Structures are given as C-alpha cells and as structure tokens.
Chain A
Amino acid sequence: MRVNRGEATANYVVLVAFAVFALWPVLSVVVAALGPDDAAGASVTGGVLGLHPENFVTAWDQGRFGTYLQTSLLVSSTVVVVSLVLSLLAGYALGTMRFRGATVLFYVFLVGIMMPSEAVLVPLYYDLRALQLTDTIWAIVLPQIAQSVAFGTFWMRAWFRSSSRSIVEAARLDGASTWRILWQVLVPLARPAIVTLTVLVFMWTWNEFLVPLVMVVSESLRTAPLGLAFFQGQYTQGFTLLAAGACIVATPVVVLYLFLQRHFIAGMLEGAVRE
C-alpha cells in the first residue's frame, strides 16, 4: 500500500518513539550496572573504557547469585523435562485417540490454564507442610509441573490434532504400536511445537516468583528472582550492584528470546487463542 512521504516519516517517528519507551527502563538498568559503583563513593576510578564490568563480579559474590542461578537452573530443567514428557503423552492421547471421557478430560486441563496460582498455593503450602515437604525442591517443582502440564497438554493436543491424522493411520496400518507411533513417528515431526513449549515453560519457571516465595525459607533453595528480591531488601546503599544483579537474573531468558523469538511470540500469542 502506498502512503505519502509525510505519513511514512510519521510512521518511523512513532516506531522509534515506542521502541525507546519500551527500552528506556531496561537500558537504564544496564547503564547503571556498568557505571561506577554508587555505594563505593568517589573511590572508584578507572574501569574498562569508562565501564565497570567488575560490578557483575561484586554483585555475583555479594548477592550469592551463583547459588540462586544453580537452583533456578535445576528447578527450570526439571519442570521443563517432566512437564514436556507428561504433556506429550497426554496431548497424544487427547489429540489422536478416541476414548470415553476424552472431551471432559480436555476441559479439565483447560481449566488449569486459567487457574491463578494464588488460589491453590494457600492450601498447597499448608498441606505440603503437613507432609514436611515445604522448604524442599519438590515444593517449588511439583506445583509448577502441574501448571505447565495443563498448558502443555492443551498445546500438544492442538498440534497432534491438526497435523497427524494420515500419518497415524498409515503407521497404524503398518502395525506400529501406539507407543512407537508417538516416539518414532510423531515426536520427530513435532519438533517446532516442542521447541515452543520448551522455551515457554522454561521462561515461566525461570521468572516465577510467588511459588518459591511461599514454599521455601532456606537461602540455598532461593531461585534467581526470589534471590534478587531479597538482595533488594538487604542492599540499600546504592543501585549499581542491584542493577547488576537484575541483569544477571534476566539474561538467560533474554538471550534465549533473542535467538528463538519466533517461538516466544508465536507461543504466547497462539497459546492464548483458545478453540
């Protein structure tokens, strides 16, 4: 479509203005993290080209982000792997097989996508406490697996339904078992859907705050966002190290986003469009 030169220029002005608005708080954190340490006073000099990447090392040590990132990595990878396998199995059943109660089962999972975690965390905390499971890795991992399985089943079912009818029937005529059809025929074909599901679940788990806040007390079990919130409470002398900590917490998902942004955007938009 053609528009005149004036309108085209106006378009770019609007684009740039909104891009700047979106980046402003993000970049101000990055700039603060790389600036001279404001809590150390005027004693800070030098730096590399006026930048101070050593702030990240200081923040890493003072804020114990090493431990937090380790916990986050353990929690995220467990949730991703387990919920992916469970979602594949359940999505395969709901997407390619007919059995009594399948429709009801689908709606039951659908409810889980909308359910706010606030509602279930209160009873869950007290029940897990009675089982002496609070303040363990399980208390962070299991509720998040349940939430991810609800979305994952919905997501994989949609994929299996839309793209596998003739393949499943052909494989079945060849005498392949349902188990082999799933793992040797369908899963390799479903790679794009699986990648999308993986990055979404990883992002949700990595960024989750309420579940670890409620479930754990031990410092060694704090995830990265929880550790950052505590660091903010303790470290009040300045902003530089807090900014560096914020960068450390955000970086893994942001880097993943820069490489796989199509999966992030498609997943978050299409996943929301219910049938």
Chain B
Amino acid sequence: MTDTTTAVPHRVSSPGRPRHRSGPPGEPRNVGWLYALPALLVYAAFLLYPLGRAVQISLYDWNGNTLATWVGLDNYVEVVRDPALRASFGHALVLIGFYAVLPLAVGLVLAAILGRARVRGLGFFRTVVFLPQVVAMVVIAVAWRRMYSPDGGVNDLLRALGLGGLTRGWLGDYTAALPAVGLIGTWFEIGLVTVLLLAGMGKIPGELYEACRLDGAGPVREFFTVTLPALRGEIAVALTLTVIAALRTFDLVYVTTRGGPGTSTSVPSYEVYNRAFQQGRVGSAAAIAVVLTVIIFAISFGITRIAERDR
C-alpha cells in the first residue's frame, strides 16, 4: 500500500512533532470522544444497559407485573437441574452438529473437489448456494414446513426413490422433528461455509499443489497436507459463525414447530421467549439468556484463540 510509504518519511521529516508514533495518525485528539459519543450512547442504552438488567433480573423471581422476590442464584440452579431446560441445551448441541459440523464436512469435500481444477460457472454456483443466507428465516421456515409436510417435497422424493416406507409428517414426529429442523440449518449454512472455504482456497499458491503432485501425492494426501492446513483460519471463522447461529436458533423453531411436538425441538432461545413472554417467568428467562450469552462469548473467544495458537 502506498499510504504507509508516504506517511513514514513525512513523520521522519517532522521531528518537531514528538507525539507522532505508530497507531492511528495524528496527535491525540480527545475530540474523538465527541465523534464516538452518539454511537456509544445508543449502544449503551439499548445493549449494554439491558445486558446488565438481564443479569439483575435473573436473580429475582418475577412474573413481569407484580413485585419481584430476590432468589439469588436459584434461577441458575434451575438451568442446570430442570430436565426440560437441560433438554433444550441438549437440543442446541444436536443443532450444532447439523449447523456447524455437517456443513463444514460437506464444504471441505466440495472445496477440495472444486479447488483442484478451474471450473467454469463457479461464479454462478457461488451466487446460488449463498442465496439462502439473504432470505428471511421466516420465509425459509415457511418453505421447509411445506417441504416436510405429508404431501411435501421430501416425501415426494422418498417415494420417487422407492423409499415410500420412510414417509411421514416430519415436523410432527417425536424422533424426526429435531433432525428435520437441524437439516434446514445444514441447508442454510452449507452455502456460507462453502463460499468461505472456496475464498480461502483461492489464496493457496498453486505451486504448493504442483510440488505436492511432483512428489506423487494423490488427491487425499494433497487435501490433508496442503488444503486443510491452509484453510485453518477460514475453518475457524466458519465454525464460529455456524455454532453461534445454531445456539441462537429462534425464528426457525418458532415458525416450524414452536418447540414441539411435546418439547422435542425446544431450544434455549425459544425457552427464553416462552418463559419471558408467555409463561410470565421473567427471572428464569433472564437466567437462560445470560447463560446463553456467556456460552456464545466463550465459544467465540475459544475458537478464535485455538485458531491463532495453531498458526
């Protein structure tokens, strides 16, 4: 970049300004606070302050209307003890498999295949597989509810494949509903992960592959010695995004199953909504929300750290 090369001589030629150091250009300017203030005010009022309030409310038993009673950490104990809540976090874990692990596995295979050769039409492919990312989740949920209905596309496909015995109303089935919701997540995230990995593949120097092939390596060894290590950063980003998306699943469950049948697809976010706004158990809802936030922060930092340490 040219700006660094022009900026450096300028600073060297003006020794009379000792405050010039590395970092952002210019003298220290407290006017910076003035520029940041409007954003900070809105942000603090509508994100930071409510987060603090969530922690506060989580320590009370409160139905949202009458006076709240202090219960200390009871709401958090309930998160650990209540089988229904434990189950909802378990469902979130299953969803991580569908949202993060499965798309990553498929995405890596796709990237490995497509990265080996110049493929025409890759741009069009990218546009198409990324499309689900820009469609409102409610619309996706409406589409998949139809796909999973007894006379929907999934059952049509099964019948066409001669697997008519497997057909069912997928979202109404106690054992099939959670994997069915999870597969919507897989469908949704595959495009994001694949496009991310393909972008990373484009940055791997071709000589690495040439060298690998001269050594007589096959496609599998090539994948493990060149492709996989080079994509470590992209894999970390893909995992962070998809794991958080899995943990935050709300719209999809709300529109497709409302946590049902029974509680077989209830997830933490849905429990937060349900308790805070349907059942009048605001303290408990806040405790779940705080736990969820802590888990999300821990995972974001954790994955980033691991990716950086390995580098």
Contacts and interface: CB of A to CB of B under 8 A. Distances in A.
Interface of A: 1-3, 7-8, 10-12, 14-15, 18-19, 21-26, 28-29, 32, 86-87, 89-90, 92-102, 105, 108-109, 111-112, 114-116, 118-127, 142-143, 145-147, 149-150, 152-153, 161-169, 172, 178, 182, 203, 206-207, 209-210, 213-214, 224-226, 228-229, 232, 239, 242-243, 246, 249-250, 253-254, 256-258, 261, 264-265, 268-269, 272-274
A11 B114 contact: yes
Contacts of A108: 40, 43, 48
B24 A207 contact: no
A147 B117 CA distance: 41
Given A14-B114, A228-B138, A232-B145, 4 more contacts: A22-B132, A93-B34, A100-B28, A125-B277
B250 A118 contact: yes
Contacts of A147: 47
A29 B142 contact: yes
Interface string B253-266: 01100000000000
A115 B47 CA distance: 8
User: Looking at chain B's contact residues, is the secondary structure mostly helix, strand, loop, or mixed?
Assistant: helix
B289 A209 contact: no
Interface in B1-33: 1-4, 6-7, 10, 23-33
A15 B125 contact: yes
B160 interface: no
A98 B136 contact: no
Contacts of A123: 50, 53-54, 56-57, 286
Contacts of B134: 203, 207, 253-254, 256-257, 264
Nearest to A1: B117
B39 A119 contact: no
Most buried by B among A86, A178, A232: A86
Given A168-B26, A228-B139, A112 B47 contact: yes
Interface pairs A-B: 7 shortest CB-CB = A123-B53, A146-B46, A90-B39, A93-B35, A97-B32, A120-B50, A99-B32
Interface stretch (B81-89, B171-179, B191-199): B191-199
B76 interface: no
Contacts of A253: 134-136
Contact of B144 (A1, A7, A25, A112): A25
Contact of B285 (A94, A98, A122): A122
Interface of B: 1-4, 6-7, 10, 23-36, 38-40, 42-43, 45-48, 50-51, 53-54, 56-57, 64, 110, 113-114, 116-119, 121-122, 124-140, 142-147, 153, 187, 190-192, 194-196, 199, 206, 209-210, 233, 237, 240-241, 244, 247-248, 250-251, 254-255, 268-269, 272-273, 276-277, 282, 285-286, 289-290, 292-293, 296-297, 300, 304
B206 A1 contact: yes
B187 A209 contact: no
Nearest to B33: A99
Nearest to B144: A25
A114 B195 contact: no
A23 B14 CA distance: 60
